[in-house]
Amino acid sequence: MQDRPEIVNENFLRRVKAGDLPDADGADLQSAGLAGAQLAEMFESQVLSRQLDFISRKLQARGEGFYTIGSSGHEGNAAIAAAFRLDDMAFLHYRDAAFLIQRSKKLPGQTPLWDMLLSFTTSSEDPISGGRHKVLGSKELFIPPQTSTIASHLPKAVGAAYSIGLNRRLKNEGVLKNDGVIICSFGDALVNHSTSQGAFNTAGWTAYQNVPLPIVFVCEDNGIGISTQTPGGWIEASMKDRPGIKYFACNGLNLVETYRAAREVENYVRTTRRPAFLHMNCVRLFGHAGADAQHVYLNMKDIEATEANDPLLYSARLLIDNGVLNAAQVLDIYNGTAERVARAAEEAIKRPKMKTAADVMASIIPPKKQIEPPTITQAEREKVFGDDIASLKTPQIMSKLISWGLTDVMLENPNVVLAGEDIGPKGGVYAVTQRLSSRFGQHRVINTLLDEQSILGLAIGMAHNNIIPIPEIQFLAYLHNAEDQVRGEAATLSFFSSGKYTNPMVIRIAGLGYQKGFGGHFHNDNSVAVLRDIPGVVIACPSNGADAVQMLRECVRLAREEQRVVVFLEPIALYSMRDLHAAKDGLWMSEYPDPKAKPVRLGDIGQYGEGKDLCILTYANGYYLSRQAAKELEEKHGIKLRIIDLRWLAPLAEDKILAAVAPCKNLLIVDECRTTGSLSETLMSLVMEKLQPPPKTKRLAAEDSFIPLGRVATVTMPGKDSIIEAAVQLVKAQDKVRRSA
């Protein structure tokens, strides 16, 4: 197969020299509000983007470059960058190098050529990702980094747009200006993704209610997604009459027409504060990426027809027809840029690279911020708590205590905002947030539409704009259709930006099993594996009301001060638990912890008892059930034990766990999650690898089963009786071994 990039390069040189250029209708610069110098500047951005695509493939062939998904054919987005402000945050498609290059011209001192070469060659000096990935991103240019996203950036772009008006309503100082606009670009194939459809629906749903949402969706339609062609007219047909979103279109091959349309869109969105969809037709040159052999699925006639529509040829025609440059000057820019890129590439490959795992992982955890601690008077608390203030010193169930904990953190932090389905006046499924709406208003307790991707995207976008979001996912089972918003977006942002960008938040999720008479599988999900393997995410899981409040406060502190992504997993079955051993003993209720009480910090474990015969290592419902079992184990079987409540499921406090387990002869790990993929596997490995000699160890975990409805709802999971049985067998077996020895 011929070298298509080289053919495109030769075609450009030959056709410009011969004056064989395509027609460029609508070339009136004045009517587009465009000066000749601006057109030349945009062309320079296009050429630099093209030459970077060429060099990326040459570097890869030499083993010096590692990314070849290029922007060739999409360079018309330079005109979109020119039409918007520097501080209009842009969530970019991976084919938008020309956009970034053009935007960099709005801020003196930028070096996009050098920066992108460092990115191609994975140099540790790459100013945005530190060599971790080729990303289009810049803190100074208001471009959060994106990797090869499959539409996952659209929900957070909607969230960022929503945050602009929200900050104004809350009188909160954000990162984005009150008249700012959000730009979100993507390819035509991504329009079909459920994540995109959810984002469009959320944007239209919001605008339909006359809530400000200043966002421009830019669809760069090259007619093909890798090898699957987009049906002709599909994008226009599916988006032109979308409720709440105004449709615009332009020929992305023509810089003047694209600039004219982008200016029109920019003015519409900035003045109306409503969403728009800009449909930019373009072409894709060279295939999807370096390894993509497009001749396998496209015939040569179609490939050559696409190459004949090279947008740089259209730009050359516009420059020459408008007397801005002559053909020789166009070629001078093209060839001069190629020489400059080649020289810079030889220097870029010499720059330092990351070498160790520590280098790679250094930005998983974001940098800490210096923030003044909140100061709230008792009088202010009494005013907000109202008649609840008298009940703070009487034992309460977990759900009530969490509600009060949220009240305090919202009172102390005016930029904390809750969002989720039904969390307003209804208070959610379990009434945890019931009084918060009346206390803080609908702008801080946001009832969202039913779409978990949009809920989490809203949170990520708000976090970009100096809001600390606490989104709620109704049930753990509902997270799974949206977990990529945590895995692929929230958790990766610090990693791919070397800590320059963060999206701190606390995601509240009601989950785990043991609910009685309600819901079956989708309301009882005993698997947290989907969260545990996401680098950098903190997972808090309290077992009782007092811990829940203290840990919630720590979660918010981690988000505010340490910019962490935190999951606060609330055991549903313990929300209303009152008793431990007997009806009306009230032993599982707690007084509300005073805000000045000693905090429970990340990594602090809980412990009941000091015995050394047996250690039970567990969490959440497992801790409650183990506490029930402890009474019989101590009184009937004479086993001196201790029960360790992990509290924090990620990261595990390994040193504290090992110190608590080490004095004990026997260890029983009680895990309510499934045997395969559960935390108990990690705990077993930890003890066996780090304690020498290890205690006699057994684990009791749930069956690898979904949870059924009715009287058998708990039979697949550990219970009080099975914990007692396992503990007695373990200790007796150890005693037998010791006696025989």
As a whole number of angstroms, the distance between CA 251 and CA 236 comes to 13
CA-nearest of 121, 189, 191, 188 to 154 is: 191
Tell me: pLDDT of 1 over 60.
Answer: no
Residue 298 has a pLDDT of: 87
Mean predicted confidence (pLDDT) in 691-716: 92
Highest mean pLDDT among 25-29, 288-292, 310-314: 310-314
Mean pLDDT of 398-426: 96
Mean pLDDT for the stretch of residues 450-477: 96
| Degrees, nearest 5: CA angle 18-20-21 | 130
- Of the pLDDT bands very low, low, confident and very high (cuts 50, 70, 90), residue 124 is very high
Length of the chain: 741
Q: How confident is the model at residue 260 (pLDDT cuts 50, 70, 90)?
A: very high
pLDDT tier at 519, thresholds 50, 70, 90: low
CA distance 37 to 263: 17
Helix or strand or coil: residue 179?
Answer: coil
Residue 704 reports pLDDT greater than 80: yes
**pLDDT surpassing 70 at residue 736:** no
The answer, yes or no, to whether residue 149 has pLDDT greater than 80, is no
Question: 521 vs 439, 455, 579, 706, CA distance in Å?
Answer: 34, 22, 25, 6
**For 273-282, 358-367, 524-533, which range has the lowest pLDDT when averaged over its residues?**
524-533
What CATH class has 608-740?
alpha beta
Burial status of residue 390 (CB atoms within 10 A of its CB: 0-12, 13-18, 19 or more): exposed
Least confident span in 58-62, 76-80, 465-469? 58-62
For residue 412, pLDDT beyond 90: yes
Q: Between 255-272 and 311-321, two packed helices, what is the crossing angle to 10 degrees?
A: 100
Tell whether the torsion through CA atoms of 487, 489, 491 and 496 is positive or negative.
Answer: positive
- Residue 734's pLDDT is 65
The domain limits of the chain are 4-353, 378-574, 608-740
Q: How confident is the model at residue 737 (pLDDT cuts 50, 70, 90)?
A: low
Residue 123 is predicted with a pLDDT of 97
Measured distance CA(259)–CA(268) in Å, rounded = 14
Looking at residue 291, its pLDDT comes to 78
| CATH homologous superfamily, domain 4-353 | Thiamin diphosphate (ThDP)-binding fold, Pyr/PP domains (3.40.50.970)
Q: Looking at domain 378-574, which of 3.40.50.970, 3.40.605.10, 3.40.50.20, 3.30.428.10 is its CATH number?
A: 3.40.50.970
In this predicted model, which residue has the larger pLDDT, 424 or 288? 424
371 has a pLDDT exceeding 90: no
What does the pLDDT look like over 47-74, one tens digit per residue? 999 999 999 999 999 999 998 888 999 9
The amino acid sitting at 20 is: D
What's the pTM value of the predicted model, to 2 decimals? 0.95
Using the predicted structure, report yes or no on whether residue 601 has a pLDDT greater than 60. yes
pLDDT at 294: 85
Of the candidates 164, 91, 25, 29, the one whose C-alpha atom is nearest the C-alpha of residue 462 is 164
Got the DSSP string for 525-575? B---HHHHTSTT-EEE--SSHHHHHHHHHHHHHHHHHH--EEEEEEEGGGT
Report which residue type is found at 431: A
Cβ distance 620 to 541 under 8 Å? yes
181-185, 252-256, 522-526, range with the lowest pLDDT = 522-526
Which of 256-260, 303-307, 373-377 has the highest mean predicted lDDT (pLDDT)? Answer: 256-260
Instruction: Lay out the sheet containing 90-91: strands in order across.
Output: 90-91, 182-187, 215-221, 276-281, 246-251
Output the pLDDT for position 740.
53
Q: Is the pLDDT of residue 562 over 60?
A: yes
The residue ranking higher by pLDDT, 293 or 169, is 169
Q: Model confidence at 517, in pLDDT bands (50, 70, 90)? A: low
Task: Give the integer Cα–Cα distance in Å for 186 and 200.
Answer: 13
Averaged confidence pLDDT in the chain: 94
Which token pair is 489? 């977006």
Rounded mean pLDDT of 599-605? Answer: 97
Q: How confident is the model at residue 520 (pLDDT cuts 50, 70, 90)?
A: confident
Lowest model confidence (mean pLDDT) among 112-126, 145-159, 440-454: 145-159
Please compute the mean of the pLDDT values over residues 148-163 and round it to a whole number.
Answer: 92
Q: Could you tell me which residues come within 8 angstroms of residue 379 by beta carbon, excluding any fewer than 6 positions away? A: none
CA distance 606 to 623: 10
Percentage of the chain exceeding pLDDT 90: 86
Model confidence at 215: pLDDT above 80: yes
Instruction: Report CA torsion sign: 488, 491, 497, 501.
Output: positive
Of the listed ranges 409-423, 506-520, 613-627, 680-694, the least confidently predicted one is 506-520
Burial (CB < 10 A; 0-12, 13-18, 19+), residue 601, is middle
The Cα 307–Cα 73 span in angstroms is 9
